[in-house]
Structure 1
Amino acid sequence: MTKIDDAPVSAPLATETIVTGRRAVPRRRSPFRKPLASVIRHGLLILLAVGMLYPVIWMVVSSLRPNDEIFRDPSIIPDSFEISNYTDGWTALAAPFGAYMWNSAVIVLGCIIGNLVSCSMAAYAFARLHFSGKRFWFAVMLLSIMLPIHVIIVPQYVLFSQLGWVNTFLPLIVPKLLATDAFFIFLMVQFIRGIPKELDEAARIDGAGHPRIFLQIILPLMVPALATTAIFTFIWTWNDFFSQLIFLTKPELYTVPLALRSFEDAQSSTNYAQMFAMSVVSLIPIFLIFLFGQRFLIKGIATTGIK
């Protein structure tokens, strides 16, 4: 009786193939190929980022240069630092630059509150309520996105002038309370449509009406969309120049964009160093908004169905 060898027989590796009884050794890739491709890819991305950020970096560097050296040297390495551009630019206009930032903050706060309240209510109506002509009015709302502001600015100015609102903040804030930003309505409608209707039905069984469903169920779940609306409203209103130029003509009511424009004087030399210094100061709120609201912005855009 023969004894069978109990030693295990090694199976061929999964990456190996047998051809005519002979093993074909797989071709090995270079261990440096993948890291090299990653280095090249990241290097190109860094160069692209530097190219996109070059104007901002140049503006920051120019704010630290003497006024007569700004356009003579396009490099981003300053030869000297003029910190006085910030202190002198802060008090260069009729009022301290902080007064103009305060005016912009008041307008921005009113616009954010107006858009959050009015657009969320309009979005809930389009997404959850059933009324006559719903699709027609929703289409009209979407068409208003393509309507340029230059078409409606003249009728608005005539209306607000008759109301005595010119040279006040009301023409810039009151329209936001009437859900005039169709983009934010559409964004919130898409978000609300992604919320299960079973939550509404369960609340309705418990005796809740539409106001309670909106305030206690839908609104808490809309935080990403509301944060996205607040961030975009802040940026667009803070940087708005055209509307504020039309309705605000008194220097004491100027906002940040109008104040920066006041640094340019057609009859005398313009102090670009101070203007760039105050431009850097005006970018700080936007930078902070992006820094602390980036995750809400990405989440809000990713979950609204805008693809």
Structure 2
Amino acid sequence: MNTISGGMFTVKVPASSANLGPGFDSIGLAVNLYLSVEAELHSHWDIIPLSEELKRFPRGSEHFIAQIAIRTAKLYGREMPPCRLAVESDIPLARGLGSSAAAIIAGIELASHFCGLQLSRQEKLEIAAGVEGHPDNVGASIYGGLVVGSQLESGIDLTPVHSVEMDLVAVIPEDELLTESSREVLPERIAFSQAVEASAVANQLLAALFTGNWRVAGKMMASDRFHQPYRRRLIPWWDEVEQLALESGAFGTALSGAGPSLLCLAEPGNGKKLAQSLESSLSAMKIVQLEIERSGSYTSIIHQDNKKSPI
């Protein structure tokens, strides 16, 4: 069955790494791993996983992407028509690289298209952040680049920055770590003096990244007061990998989102050497040299002859 536009509707959403250390629930960075969805109207919800990791999820309307699409349509008083989806992803699940945020955005894009909502980026951000509870991952995946977001009672504001140039290397372990488990170790409150320090560290990190002061940026990434001191106990190999990365040319390391992956940052041109060094020393982990993804999520209509999926 054809889509309402006469072709195959496609969504491509980049992965993201949140926080960069002290920018807790505010700073996000889009990276070049992707969730891709090809969709067409169908008599019922039918999700076809094209990646091995995705085969664990429901194949019908209970699928997370379908649920987000249905929920988004209801927000605007519409009924989301059932679709057949072919879903492919190279974003590792439950590793702190924004796999859930990418799925949320994919669902919102489906509702926007098939219900004729024509949502703006800001509207997509507000819906996605409402589901996630914070704008960092979803904002980076929607807008691309580095983003700084805030989610207050007065609304959600986000500033995308595309001028930062740095190399990225992710250290991805085999073990998963669910965001819920990683948040359980965080305190409900911190002292005012600690909050002042934590805010200053986050501010200084941004200033250092924007001006290319890599030494200070690395220092601030290691000086987080909001979440990393509490989450470190969940990842026994963190200290060892962090030290190895710094000795191999990284100017800083941070837990990627809620973890357990670590994101290592290097000056432009040093990423390949850093990745090679880490790969030779960490055979039990996946080392991925990444790039900043600057375009954000996008959609298109493709001709049936050009589709990749079996639908």
Q: TM-score range by the shorter chain?
A: under 0.3
TM-score, normalised to structure 1, is: 0.23
Larger Rg: 1 or 2?
A: 1
Looking at secondary structure, tell me which structure has more strand per residue.
2
Looking at secondary structure, tell me which structure has more helix per residue.
1
